[in-house]
Amino acid sequence: MTAGPHLSKNLMAAEELVKETYSVPRQAREARTLLGGIRLNARITLFVFFGLVAIVTMGAILFVADQRMSRAISNLESSSRVSALVNRVKVLVITLTNDGNNFTLSRNTKFAEAYTRESGNTVSVLNGLRGIPAALDAQKLVITLADGITQHATHFQNIIRLQSILGSDGSAGLTGNAAVSGAALENELRKIPAPRLMSEMAMLRKLERGLRSSITEENAKAVSDALNNMRQSVTASSLSARSKKALTQRIQSYDADMNQLARTRLLQSNEISRLDEVAAYVTPNLTALTKFSVSLRETARAEAEVTRMEVRRILLSGALIVLLALTLVGALLIRSIAHPVTDLATAAVQLARGNRSGSIPALANYDETGDVANALVYFRENMAQADRIRQELEDHLKNTRRSTGAPGMKATAPKSSENAITSTLERTAPQLPYREIVRTPVSKTQPPQAHAANPVSPSGIPTDISANFRASLGTPLSSFSQQVAQTSQNASSAAKGAEQCDFMVSGLAESREKIDDIERLMASISDQMSLLAVQIALFSELPPDDPENLLMLSGRHLGKDGDHPNSPSVNDRIETLQNGTKRAISAIQQIGKTIEDVNRVAVEFAANASNDALDAATELLRQSEDLRGMLDDLLGRIKSEEQTGAGS
């Protein structure tokens, strides 16, 4: 009875201890694990952040690689375009040179038209080449080449203009004029006999034909000298004055046409020679531009190859670095979670095995692992509190045994409520049911003397009633009185049976309550045994001479070698007690079920007995009313007979 308040005080102290334990500030920062000051959700957010940084970094790497590759491809395309334009310029220049040469040789206008068209295309291509950034280093070459092509075209246009003055054929232009005046002079010479003049004329005609092609200054001077010689020959000849005059006029006309033709042809020849000079000037520039385009293309290809390799290295190294960094961050974050969880699992296993001396890691963490570590500390303190409660219980049991003076006696179970119920039921004799009482004959249930003893004693009946009248009325009245007495006795028996049934029902109910109390007590004992088993398991690793070792409470003594001879373990004894307690609880539960069934039957029986007693009381009341009516009738007859006898 004294253990209840003591245990409640211990529980209150344990609660205060738990509060103090859980509210203690966490350990110093040295006891904190990696990233222990960051919550798990924050670590997940941190990993997502690093993942985004890795994605952005990879995007930046890809952007740089794309820029470099795009620049290399642009340079390659520019070099290819420059090379294509240079090749086109080269082809156009060669075409222009061929068209110019063909025109100077054949004087065919189609070559002039082709030259004009191709020269315009060449200038357009050169202007396009000047607009390409890759050709900036060759701008001088391009400008020089463009100037050369312009000069070449200018000279060629001069040649074409002079050719139009000279005439495309021998019948037009200066050539035709010279041919006409020469033919007229030749006809005049044929009219006169002058062989020397004819030979000189033949030489002039030959020189005239020579003027149709390119000439030099010497050729023009030779034509002028030949005309002067012919003029002097005519003057020195023995011809008539008229003939000399006519020949002189013809010679002057022919001289004018020939000199104009020679000067014009000389100008054209000079333009042709300048055209060759320009072509010779353009050719080295074109060759240098071609070499530049080839070098530019080779350089662009080499740079593209180098850029491709560099981009490949950037992509591989950048991706590798980003992946390694992300993997390292992920490994650190996972380790910051897995390492304390593993240590906490090990500490939890040690606590489950009863080892409270081991340290609990991650107590200084401010994340979920720190919460688990503090929960394990809370559990360890609960184990310590349970051990203290066990020690106090043991001390209390020792004090109780000392106070009773019988420490060696076996504990006896308290008397069950069945004994009290049985003794209560035994105080009342068993009674027959009402229906059996009713069916029992009067001779068996009650002696005749009980029925004959003053069945009716009305005070108003006179004593001098005649015997005949008594004999005539005695038989039915006596019989009815006996029935009323029997009914009264049946009602009394039914009432007594109902009272006994009520007493039995109340006893069964009280027994059921006591059995419930015993069952709860046995369950509490079983729980205490379980707690004791846990505590023993917790202290099983303590040395035998430790005062907290519960094995010493079982009466086991150490042998010489430190063993425990011929003594079962406390766990076996506790297990035996627990099994016996469980069997007792099971038996009590079965007894409770049986009493509950008996109680239900008793309640039904009590209800039936109460109903029978009510019916018997009702029948007794009815028979009493009938008896009173019969007695009233009998008294009336007696009074009438007495009056009649008095009147007679």
Q: pLDDT digit string (tens) for 571-581? A: 666 777 777 77
Tens-digit pLDDT profile for residues 411-433? 343 343 333 333 333 333 334 34
State residue 115's pLDDT score.
86
144-181 residue pLDDT tens: 888 888 888 888 888 888 888 877 665 677 777 887 88
Contact between 589 and 527 under an 8 Å Cβ cutoff? The reply is: no
Looking at residue 313, what is its pLDDT?
93
Residue 522 contacts residue 588 (beta carbons within 8 Å): yes
SS3 of 555, please? coil
Q: Which long-range contacts (CB under 8 A, 24 or more apart) does 460-468 make?
A: 460/635, 461/634, 461/635, 461/638, 462/638, 462/642, 465/638, 466/641
Q: What is the mean pLDDT of residues 263-279?
A: 84
Q: In the chain, pLDDT over 90 holds for what percent of residues?
A: 8
pLDDT band, very low/low/confident/very high, at 318 (cuts 50, 70, 90): very high
Q: Which of the pair, 67 or 626, is modelled with greater confidence?
A: 67
Mean pLDDT of the chain: 73
- How far apart CA 535 and CA 542 sit, in angstroms, is 12
Q: What is the pLDDT of residue 140?
A: 85
Specify the long-range contacts of residues 175-180, CB closer than 8 Å, at least 24 apart. Answer: 175/211, 175/212, 175/261, 177/257, 177/260, 177/261, 178/208, 178/211, 178/254, 178/257, 178/258, 178/260, 178/261, 179/208, 180/257
- What span, in angstroms and rounded, lies between the C-alpha atoms of 313 and 306? 10
For tokens 């353009």, name the residue: 282
Label residue 309 exposed, middle or buried (CB < 10 Å: 0-12, 13-18, 19+): exposed
Token couple for 520? 């709860």
Of 546 and 112, the structure prediction assigns the larger pLDDT to: 112
Check if the beta carbon of residue 271 is closer than 8 Å to that of residue 103: no
Structure tokens at 498: 């109902």
The SS3 of residue 292 is helix
Instruction: Label residue 536 by pLDDT band (50, 70, 90).
Output: low
Instruction: Name the one residue in this structure whose structure tokens are 């609960």.
Output: 382
Return the HEC string of 288-306: HHHHHHHHHHHHHHHHHHH
Tell me which H or E stretch contains 199: helix 195-210
Q: Is the pLDDT of residue 635 over 80?
A: no
Q: Is residue 100 predicted with pLDDT exceeding 80?
A: yes
8-state DSSP, 354: T
pLDDT top residue among 418 and 264: 264
What pLDDT does 57 receive?
A: 93
Q: Could you give the angle at the alpha carbon of 290 between the alpha carbons of 288 and 291, nearest 5°?
A: 65
The pLDDT of residue 476: 54
Size of the chain, expressed as the number of residues it contains? 648
pLDDT for residue 83 is more than 60: yes
Q: What is the mean pLDDT of residues 468-484?
A: 51
| pLDDT score of 488 more than 70 | no
Residue 58: is its pLDDT beyond 80? yes
pLDDT band at 48 (very low <50, low <70, confident <90, very high): very high
- Where does the pLDDT of residue 532 fall: very low under 50, low under 70, confident under 90, or very high at 90 and above? low
- Check whether 480 has a pLDDT greater than 70: no
Is the pLDDT score of 397 beyond 90? Answer: no
Tens of pLDDT, residue by residue over 209-219, are: 777 776 777 77
**CA–CA dist 219, 230 (Å, integer):** 17
The amino acid at 289 = L
Name residue, tokens 């000199």. Answer: 259
Which range scores top for mean pLDDT: 541-550, 560-569, 613-622? Answer: 613-622
Region of poorest pLDDT, from 54-58, 72-76, 265-269: 265-269
Q: pLDDT higher for 49 or 592? A: 49
CA separation for the pair 606, 599 (Å, rounded): 10
The string of DSSP codes covering 423-465 is: HHHHTS-----HHHHHHS-HHHHS-HHHHHS-S---TTS-TT-
**Between 621 and 87, whose confidence is greater?**
87
Quick one: tokens of 562?
């430190």
HSE-up of residue 183 (Cα within 13 Å, Cβ side) = 8
Mean pLDDT of the 463-486 span? 50
Model confidence band, residue 230 (pLDDT cutoffs 50, 70, 90): confident
**Is residue 469 over pLDDT 50?**
no
What SS3 state is found at 406? coil
Express each pLDDT in 120-147 by its tens digit. Answer: 888 888 888 888 887 788 888 888 888 8
Is pLDDT above 90 for 455?
A: no
- Residue 457 sits at φ, ψ, to 5 deg, of -135, 65
Task: Look up tokens 């070459």; give the residue.
Answer: 141
Q: Which of 321, 413, 308 shows the shortest CA–CA distance to 71?
A: 308
Where does the pLDDT of residue 644 fall: very low under 50, low under 70, confident under 90, or very high at 90 and above?
confident
In this predicted structure, the answer to whether residue 407 has a pLDDT above a threshold of 60 is no
Mean pLDDT of 266-290: 85
Query: Residue 378 class from Cβ within 10 Å (0-12 exposed, 13-18 middle, 19+ buried)?
Result: middle
Query: Quick check: 442 pLDDT over 90?
Result: no
Give the model's confidence band at 543: pLDDT under 50 very low, under 70 low, under 90 confident, else very high: low
638: left (phi over 0), alpha (psi -120 to 50) or beta: alpha
